[in-house]
Amino acid sequence: MLTVLGVDVSPDLLDRWVDWLAPDEQPFFVTKSQATAWKLATDDREPSREDRDTYRTYAIDRKAARTAWLSEAAYGELPKATRAKLVRAQVDYDRAAVPTVRRWARIVGPEVRQQADGHRFVWWKSLLREPARVLPDVVSEDLGPSRHTEVRTWPAELPRVRELAGTFADGSGPNCFGTVMAACGTEGAETVWMLREPFEEWLAQHTERGGKDDVPGTVFVWRDTARLVQHAALTIGDGWMLHKPSQSWMSPRKVRTLAEVKRATRTAGWRLERHRLVG
């Protein structure tokens, strides 16, 4: 069993990771003039949730208003000079999943040097012939491991915490709000993209302000300057917390120390409040 970020990854999930990192068609973001100059057909199809998180489509520079969806074959048929400009444009527009040749050439093969400008490339399934050598590093690039194996006493009053800790979701969508709600007993909450409104309703119905950091069942809630909830985590005792850093397929439900979670969520303008479970 492959282990990534301290979490077991089944062969089936690893296969799905390959599809999410390198889908059969992936989006390339361009301006209208670039699409014309490079002879790229564009359309406004809706990206999947996994596409959204793989390429961080929510962060794309707004001037790149057109999207070309290319297969590996269509990409390979473009003149090399066009591929080089296209890949460089993705870096300029803040598209994710445009890694450096220097980082990966010795692992996936020298062909990445010829794919585009020799400095950057994009993932295709042909480069993922040995996914266990690539995906663990891609997934763990910006995240610390889950430390659930270090927990000695699991809270009896929160029986689902142990079940959820150290697991990956079955795709993008499941997020911090649903993870906290599921750990506190809301059936099925860990499988959906839980929006702010139902989380706020749950918070109002099942908690009250207050709570102690060393007691299981204290819900940490971070709000921005507009008072919108941005993140949530749950204390599970002995200085540990359960949280899911994001809705991305790369983000596991993990156990970290209170200090680690606080440090990871430190964001300008965010304020932390505590709620304790009631009822």
Same domain, 55 and 94: yes
Contact status, residue 274 vs residue 235, Cβ threshold 8 Å: no
Q: Could you report how far apart the first and last alpha carbons of the chain are, in Å? A: 40
The residue out of 87, 114, 139 marking a domain boundary is: 139
CATH number of the domain that 232 lies in?
3.90.1720
Same domain membership, residue 168 and residue 120: no
Beta strands in the chain (DSSP E): 2-4, 7-9, 25-30, 66-71, 207-209, 218-223, 229-237, 240-243, 254-257, 271-277
Contact between 231 and 263 (Cβ < 8 Å): no
Summarize the confidence of residues 221-230 as an average pLDDT. Answer: 98
Check residue 1 and give its pLDDT: 84
Query: Alpha carbon of 49 to those of 57, 168, 170, 188, 249: distances in Å?
Result: 10, 15, 12, 19, 9
Residue 90, C-beta contacts closer than 8 angstroms, at least 6 positions apart: 28, 29, 98, 120, 122
Average of per-residue pLDDT across 88-101? 98
Segment 173-207, tens digit of pLDDT: 999 999 999 999 999 999 999 999 999 999 999 99
11 vs 89: CA distance, rounded Å? 34
Total domain count, the chain? 2
Does 135 share its domain with 29?
yes
Domain of residue 28: give its range: 2-139
Instruction: Give the number of other CB atoms < 10 A from CB of residue 145.
Output: 17
Domain boundary among 104, 139, 174: 139
Single-letter amino acid code for the residue at 216 = P
What is the three-class DSSP state of 276?
strand
Per-residue pLDDT reduced to its tens digit, 255-270: 999 999 999 999 999 9
Q: ∠58-244-143 over CA atoms, to 5°?
A: 75
